[in-house]
Chains A and B, each alone.
Chain A
C-alpha cells in the first residue's frame, strides 16, 4: 500500500504538471480508518494522496463539478463503469478526463474494522497479505480477514482490475470474490417470500427511510439536471410535487421504487447508495433485482445510450397480450 501511494503521488504530480487542472483522488481522512476525497490542483499537493482499503468512495460523480476542465480521477474497478455512463449520456467529455485506474483487492467495511480497533489506535499503514489485510496502528498490528471484513459488494466483485482506463498503476490484483457465495442471495431470499411477507419486509425497511436523498446525491446514474423529486419552481410558486417533504411510508415507497427504476439498466452497481444510507436501507436489493430481470428479459437485445429501457426490440418478451 505504501509503494502504491508513492506511484500514485508521482503520477499525479506528473499529470498536474502536464496540464491536468484538477486531480481527484483520496487523502487520509480526519477519523480512524477513514479516507476522504481529495482535489489536487498543484503538483505539490499530490503528496497528500493515498490509496488503502478505506478508499471506499466512488469519485466519478465529482467530475460533474468540472465538466469544462481537464481532470484526472482515481478509479477502482467498480467505479470505472460510472465514467462510461456519464460520457454516454453526454454529461462529460471523455477527452478531457484522464482515468487513473488502481487495482483493488477489496475495501474494508469501516464499522467492522472499528469494532475491533481500540479507539485510540491510529492507522499508520496497511499491508495486503492476500487473504487478509494487516493494519499497523500506533497500538500494534491488527489482522483483518477479508472474508469477514470486506464490504458486501467486494465479496462478490469480479472487477478488481479496472478496464478502459488511461493509466493503470501498480500490480494486478488477485480476485477476492468468494466463488461459493451467490451475489444475488439477498434478492432470491425475498423473491421466495409470499406477497404479505415481502410487504412486511419493505414496510419495515422503507419505514425507516428519512428521505435525506443521500442515495440520489451520491449516485453516478442519478445525474438529471432537474430531479423529479425536487420542485421545478422553488418558492411560493410551487409546482405539484411527486412526494411530500414530510416523511411518510407511501411517499417513501414512491421515492425508492422510482429511484431504483430510474437507474434501472444504468446502475453500475458501485453500491454507493447503500454505503451512504444513514439508516441502512438495502438499496442494492432493488438495484440487483432490476439488473437480474433486465438480464433475464432483454439479454442480448439492443440497448440505447442510456441502457436497455431506452431501446426496444420487436422480439421482446410480451406478457401483456
Chain B
C-alpha cells in the first residue's frame, strides 16, 4: 500500500485502524491460531508478528511501529508464571509498564499501546482484546504522534 493511498484512506469515512501486534510464540500466537481454528470472528485490522517471547519486544519496536504508520500496538505474551523461558514475561511486565507511562508522559493516548496476557487456550480473550482495541482506536482516529510523513 503506497503512502498516497494511505492519505486517501484516512480522509475516507471508511478509515480502518492498523494495529501491529507482537505475539509470543508459545502462548499468544497459539491463542490467535486457535481463534482461527474454532472460527471466532475478530476484526482484520491486526497484523501479527510472531516473536519468541514477549520480553523480545524492544521498546524501539513499538516506537518504530508508530513511526511507520501503526495506529495502535498490541503486545501479548504468556500469563506471568507461565513463560516458556520461565521469567521472560516478568521482565516484560516491568519494562512495558514503565514504557507505557513514558509514552503517556510525552502525549500518547494510553489506548494506543496495549499489553495483554493471552494463553494458548484463550482464543476468546484474543478476539475480545482485538475487538476492544479496534473500537477504542476507531474512536481516537488515526495516530499522528511520531508518525513519519514522507
Instruction: Number of B interface residues at 8 Å Cβ cutoff, please give it.
Output: 34
Main secondary structure of the interface of B (DSSP, over half): helix
Tell me whether B90 is interfacial, beta carbon within 8 Å.
yes
User: Would you call A260 and B102 a contact (CB within 8 A)?
Assistant: yes
Report chain B residues within 8 Å CB of A34: none
- Expressed in whole angstroms, the Cα–Cα distance for A313 and B117 within the complex equals 17
User: Would you call A321 and B146 a contact (CB within 8 A)?
Assistant: no
Question: With A248-B148, A254-B67, A309-B98 as given contacts, are A199 and B106 in contact (CB-CB < 8 Å)?
Answer: yes
Tell me whether B131 is interfacial, beta carbon within 8 Å.
no
Tell me whether A202 is interfacial, beta carbon within 8 Å.
yes
Chain A residue at minimum C-beta to C-beta distance from B150:
A248
User: Would you call B60 and A258 a contact (CB within 8 A)?
Assistant: yes
Tell me whether A212 is interfacial, beta carbon within 8 Å.
no
- Expressed in whole angstroms, the Cα–Cα distance for A200 and B106 within the complex equals 9
What's the nearest-Cβ distance from chain A to residue B141, in Å? 12
User: Would you call A316 and B107 a contact (CB within 8 A)?
Assistant: no
Of the candidate stretches A14-22, A58-66, A215-223, A291-299, the one touching chain B is A291-299
Given contacts A290-B102, A314-B81, A316-B97, 18 further A-B contacts (CB under 8 A): A198-B105, A199-B145, A200-B107, A202-B106, A202-B107, A250-B146, A253-B106, A254-B67, A254-B146, A257-B63, A257-B102, A257-B106, A260-B102, A286-B105, A293-B101, A309-B94, A316-B90, A320-B117
Interface residues of B (CB under 8 A from A): 59-60, 63-64, 67, 79-81, 87, 90-91, 93-99, 101-109, 115-117, 145-148
4 tightest A-B CB contacts, nearest first? A199-B107, A312-B90, A198-B107, A320-B115
Interface residues of A (CB under 8 A from B): 190-191, 195-203, 228, 242, 248-251, 253-254, 257-258, 260-261, 264, 286, 289-290, 293-294, 297-298, 308-309, 311-314, 316-321
